């Protein structure tokens, strides 16, 4: 368990050191928000960090060791409080880029900067790669060859179903929130951690496998076929992708809402308080009652999803149904051409045709490798999303108990919702005994948390984060992109589309995203997926080939550009823009 000292305010007020996390590594010293920012976009709360930090770092190390590219003797002397896989600095999550680069350098046929492509995209230049003095390691390279061969030969992943059964059993073992004692609810905060550590490790192992298989497929498409973007077409329309499943269900609910006049009338009255108004309508109209029953079924399946779903401090679709209802509302306006099922069938057919063309063009030795890489990439890409869903479901079980405990303690202390998360795990028992006694400590930490939330953490740092006062403010403004100018990013999903830019910074507030609009977002996680369906194209500030925005846009077949630096600040809301997902460009055609 992480000690209180790992989250103890130190240093002068306003410095980055007032909100501490892991220690940086001397050897593996370069860190990035790339990829980590999609999973944990917000400032960590003390409780979430304290219960999960050690488990997450241990899981990251085990996943790295699984490839054989990093040797046990390289990690064993480094304490778990030092971020070798990933870590928290200044309250924000970071990925250790140095060790990813080392693993990429040791991969057969790979180079260190492959990690930059997979996790970072384009834009701000990362610290240059300095070859590790121990980069050449014969045992690691041989182990990498065995790992790669094993990965490409994998045809099934039976542990996915086993993990789902384990989570089902775990959730069934948790105390009922209505009847549990405070002590039982408090225990639920910790009981998820051993399971989380194991599930998260498996998710990371699969994620590394997906990235490696896609990299091999990309290499074949580029070197043998001269088409570096072909892999995106081959991996489109996979089907059975867990992150897309809630959107398909929301689409059905949106069609049903339009067909049921009492339900449509509630949505038409505006987005605020949708859940309460729909419940009220369900007591008066049979059609509304039937629709609400269907929505409750949706929550039973997908209620664990939502913004920042990995952190128990945040609401999900179950704990705040309005978060889901506002997304369904946006889907209501989309025409039937946006139907995810129809798009999936079209893309699957196009992928099959592209595969047949590749097979016909490749010579037999490479053809076999191509087929293996494509099969592995498809298998692991689906599995990555399923393993993520499994972890999120386990976390959600703990969230529901923690939120109930927080509600009870707030009633006694006179505090505010979420106070529990501003204590570290070792402080909760004292809080249970005397809820009012922690009021000042909680207030101080809330203030520190707010200071960090006002700033954008540096995307990279080497050895040590810059002081907080050097971080950019979220409220900063940049000159808008003039008509005719182009912003260049990274191709996410091929195709061209035009539409009015709708700059959205929070999926719970889509700001009137309407048919024909282009979604412009800072970064995306699964809670954004329904907005992709309602959009003609997607532009994202950050992201790389393994980012959520690329995976989802590819599954839905809409043009996407990621790593379009400062797009949310430079593209005027309402301007007519053209998105070229093949070239990775965004051009302003008309002013707002």
> How many Å apart are CA 439 and CA 108, to the nearest integer?
55
Q: Name residue, tokens 């003095």.
A: 133
365 token code pair: 């030795």
Q: Name residue, tokens 């060859």.
A: 145
Cβ-contact 11, 17 below 8 angstroms = yes
Which run of H or E residues covers position 524?
Answer: none
Kindly report the CATH number that applies to the domain delimited by 486-590: 3.50.30.10
Name the 3-class secondary structure at 504. coil
Domain ranges of the chain: 4-193+404-455, 245-342, 486-590
> How many Å apart are CA 194 and CA 296, to the nearest integer?
30
Q: How far apart are the first and last CA of the chain?
A: 52
> How many Å apart are CA 57 and CA 39, to the nearest integer?
15
Taking only the tens of pLDDT, the chain with its 592 residues reads 333 334 444 344 444 444 558 889 999 999 998 888 878 888 999 999 889 888 999 999 999 999 999 999 999 999 998 999 999 998 999 999 999 999 988 888 778 877 777 667 655 577 888 888 888 899 998 999 999 999 999 999 999 999 999 999 999 999 999 999 999 999 999 999 999 999 999 999 999 899 889 889 988 998 999 987 788 889 888 888 887 889 899 999 999 999 999 999 999 999 899 999 999 999 999 999 999 999 999 999 999 999 889 999 999 999 999 999 999 999 998 888 889 888 888 889 999 999 999 999 999 989 999 999 999 999 999 999 999 999 999 999 999 999 999 999 999 999 999 999 999 999 999 999 999 999 999 998 999 899 899 999 998 899 888 888 899 999 888 999 999 999 998 888 888 999 999 999 988 888 778 888 999 998 888 788 889 888 999 999 887 777 778 888 888 888 999 988 899 999 999 999 999 998 999 999 999 8
The verdict on pTM exceeding 0.95 is: no
Cβ-contact 389, 281 below 8 angstroms = no
Predicted pLDDT at 335: 87
Phi then psi for residue 577, to 5 deg, are -130, 160
Predicted pLDDT at 237: 82
206 token code pair: 């699969």
Q: What is the DSSP letter of 434?
A: -
Name the 3-class secondary structure at 224. coil
> How many Å apart are CA 449 and CA 254, to the nearest integer?
37
Predicted pLDDT at 128: 84
Predicted pLDDT at 3: 37
Predicted pLDDT at 2: 37
> How many Å apart are CA 495 and CA 487, to the nearest integer?
16
Name the 3-class secondary structure at 405. helix
Cβ-contact 69, 147 below 8 angstroms = yes
């Amino acid at each position: 368990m992480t000690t209180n000292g790992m989250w103890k305010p130190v240093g002068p007020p306003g410095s980055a050191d007032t909100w501490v996390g892991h220690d940086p590594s001397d050897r593996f010293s370069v860190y990035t928000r790339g990829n980590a920012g999609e999973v944990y976009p917000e400032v960590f709360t003390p409780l979430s960090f304290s219960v999960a930090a050690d488990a997450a770092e241990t899981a990251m190390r085990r996943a790295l060791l699984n490839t054989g590219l990093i040797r046990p003797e390289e990690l064993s002397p480094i304490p778990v409080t030092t971020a070798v896989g990933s870590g928290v600095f200044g309250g924000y999550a970071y990925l250790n880029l140095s060790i990813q680069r080392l693993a990429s350098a040791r991969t057969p046929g790979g180079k260190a900067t492959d990690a930059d492509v997979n996790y970072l995209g384009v834009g701000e230049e990362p610290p240059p790669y300095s070859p590790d003095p121990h980069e050449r390691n014969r045992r690691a390279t041989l182990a990498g060859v065995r790992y790669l061969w094993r990965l490409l030969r994998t045809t099934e992943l039976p542990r996915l179903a086993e993990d789902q059964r384990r989570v089902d059993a775990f959730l069934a073992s948790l105390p009922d929130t209505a009847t549990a004692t405070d002590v039982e609810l408090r225990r639920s905060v910790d009981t998820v951690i051993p399971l989380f550590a194991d599930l998260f490790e498996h998710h990371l192992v699969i994620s590394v496998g997906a990235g490696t298989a896609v990299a091999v497929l990309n290499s074949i498409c580029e070197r043998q076929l001269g088409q570096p973007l072909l892999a995106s077409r081959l991996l489109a329309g996979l089907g059975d992708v867990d992150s897309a499943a809630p959107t398909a269900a929301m689409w059905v609910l949106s069609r049903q809402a339009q067909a049921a006049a009492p339900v449509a009338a509630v949505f038409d009255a505006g987005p605020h308080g949708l859940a309460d108004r729909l419940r009220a309508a369900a007591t008066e109209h049979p059609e509304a009652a039937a629709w609400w029953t269907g929505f409750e079924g949706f929550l039973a399946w997908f209620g664990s999803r939502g913004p920042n779903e990995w952190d128990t401090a945040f609401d999900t679709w179950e704990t705040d149904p309005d978060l889901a209802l506002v997304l369904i509302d946006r889907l209501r306006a989309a025409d039937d051409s946006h139907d995810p099922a129809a798009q999936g069938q079209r893309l699957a057919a196009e992928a099959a045709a592209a595969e047949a063309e590749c097979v016909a063009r490749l010579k037999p030795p490479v053809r076999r490798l191509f087929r293996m890489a494509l099969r592995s990439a498809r298998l692991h890409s689906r599995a990555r999303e399923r393993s993520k869903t499994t972890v999120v479901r386990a976390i959600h079980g703990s969230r529901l108990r923690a939120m109930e405990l927080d509600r009870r303690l707030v009633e006694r202390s006179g505090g505010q919702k979420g106070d529990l998360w501003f204590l570290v795990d070792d402080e909760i028992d004292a809080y249970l005994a005397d809820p009012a006694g922690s009021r000042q400590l909680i207030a101080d930490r809330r203030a520190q948390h707010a200071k960090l939330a006002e700033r954008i953490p540096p995307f990279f740092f080497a050895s040590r984060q810059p002081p907080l006062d050097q971080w950019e403010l979220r409220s900063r403004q940049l000159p808008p992109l003039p008509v005719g100018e182009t912003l260049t990013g990274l191709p996410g999903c091929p195709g061209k589309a035009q539409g009015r830019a709708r700059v959205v910074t929070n999926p719970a507030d889509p700001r009137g995203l309407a048919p024909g609009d282009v979604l412009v977002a800072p970064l995306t996680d699964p809670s954004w997926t329904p907005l992709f369906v309602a959009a003609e194209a997607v532009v994202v500030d950050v992201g790389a080939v393994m980012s959520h925005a690329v995976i989802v846009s590819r599954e839905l077949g809409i043009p996407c550009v990621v790593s379009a630096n400062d797009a949310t600040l430079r593209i005027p809301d309402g301007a007519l823009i053209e998105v070229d997902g093949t070239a990775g460009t965004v051009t302003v055609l008309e002013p707002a």
